[in-house]
Amino acid sequence: DTAVSQTPKYLVTQMGNDKSIKCEQNLGHDTMYWYKQDSKKFLKIMFSYNNKELIINETVPNRFSPKSPDKAHLNLHINSLELGDSAVYFCASSQDLGRQGIFDEQFFGPGTRLTVL
Amino acid sequence: GQQVMQIPQYQHVQEGEDFTTYCNSSTTLSNIQWYKQRPGGHPVFLIQLVKSGEVKKQKRLTFQFGEAKKNSSLHITATQTTDVGTYFCAGPEYSSASKIIFGSGTRLSIRP
């Protein structure tokens, strides 16, 4: 009964390729996120969606394009992969965005380790 | 911009010793969350603190939120090997109520 699942778990690809990472949550949550964790373990938010609507779009290259076909899914497509894109990408979900700055707890997926050669 | 800093970056302790990680924000936080990430794993929510001066306990873990709501700490008493991992604090960004910022994390390793 995985709450937040991601596929694939590992992704090794050549520079210049296009790849997608899929994320699904079965918690009935309204909000989903994509995070990037680099080799130093810094965790940075990339995007967040609430009820399929884009809420946060951090300063990431426009080679990264999220897509939310429905509330339970948030996929990440990356065009023209570069060496610097190598990282672990985490999907997460929360009940809602929270209210008055009080955030709901986030449930993270297992991560996708992307290696660009 | 707003920063959420954690110290220390790394901590290596003997099993049974205590451990503390500190989280400091450049701005007042409406709330703060703590997460734990085991090696090779994903962040897992531990707790949320909302009130000024709040203290919460979970078995050997004690969480505190500063009176000014600009700092927080996580203290583990008598560490065990199961405590190994990276501990992150996270709080809302001042300029965007819908964005959460994670601290830089403290990586805890333990000598058995």
Chain B residue at shortest CA distance from A113 = B40
Residues B40-79 have pLDDT tens digits of 999 999 999 999 999 999 999 999 999 999 999 999 999 9
Stretch B14-38: mean pLDDT, rounded?
Answer: 95
Assign residue B39 the CATH number of its domain: 2.60.40.10
pLDDT band at B97 (very low <50, low <70, confident <90, very high): low
Residues A54-72 have pLDDT tens digits of 887 777 889 999 999 999 9
Domain count, chain A: 1
Are A3 and B45 in contact, with CB atoms under 8 Å apart?
no
Question: Is B2 a residue whose pLDDT tops 70?
Answer: no
Please measure the distance between the N-terminal and C-terminal CA atoms of chain A and give it in whole angstroms: 34
Pairwise CB contact (< 8 Å): A105 & B33: yes
- Residue to mutate among A88, A105, A112, A113, with most B CBs inside 10 A, is A105
A59 touching B (Cβ < 8 Å) = no
Could you list the residue range(s) of the whole structural domain that residue B75 is in? 4-111
Assign residue A49 the CATH number of its domain: 2.60.40.10
Spell out which residues of chain A touch residue B35, defining contact as CB-CB under 8 Å.
Answer: 106
pLDDT band at B27 (very low <50, low <70, confident <90, very high): confident
Distance CA B25, CA B39 (A): 26
Pairwise CB contact (< 8 Å): B43 & A106: yes
- Is A97 exposed, middle or buried (CB count within 10 Å of its CB: 0-12, 13-18, 19+)? buried
Are B96 and B63 in contact, with CB atoms under 8 Å apart?
no
Pairwise CB contact (< 8 Å): B43 & A45: no
Spell out which residues of chain B touch residue A102, defining contact as CB-CB under 8 Å.
Answer: 30-31, 48, 50
Lowest mean pLDDT among A96-100, B60-64, B98-102: A96-100
Spell out which residues of chain B touch residue A100, defining contact as CB-CB under 8 Å.
Answer: 30, 97
Q: Which residue has the higher pLDDT, A48 or B97?
A: A48
Average pLDDT, chain A: 92
pLDDT band at B87 (very low <50, low <70, confident <90, very high): very high
Q: pLDDT value at position B32?
A: 94
Q: pLDDT value at position B98?
A: 66
pLDDT band at A90 (very low <50, low <70, confident <90, very high): very high
Query: Which CB contacts under 8 angstroms, 24+ apart, belong to B78-84?
Result: B78/B16, B78/B17, B78/B18, B79/B13, B79/B15, B79/B16, B79/B17, B79/B18, B79/B19, B79/B108, B79/B110, B80/B15, B80/B110, B81/B15, B81/B110, B81/B112, B83/B19, B83/B108, B83/B110, B84/B38, B84/B39, B84/B108, B84/B109, B84/B110
Spell out which residues of chain A touch residue B33, defining contact as CB-CB under 8 Å.
Answer: 103, 105-106
Please name the member of A41, A45, A97 whose beta carbon is closest to the beta carbon of B107.
A41
Domain count, chain B: 1
Distance CA B87, CA B109 (A): 11
Could you list the residue range(s) of the whole structural domain that residue A62 is in? 4-116
Please name the member of B41, B100, B105 whose beta carbon is closest to the beta carbon of A103.
B100
Question: Is B93 a residue whose pLDDT tops 80?
Answer: no
Spell out which residues of chain B touch residue A98, defining contact as CB-CB under 8 Å.
Answer: 92, 98
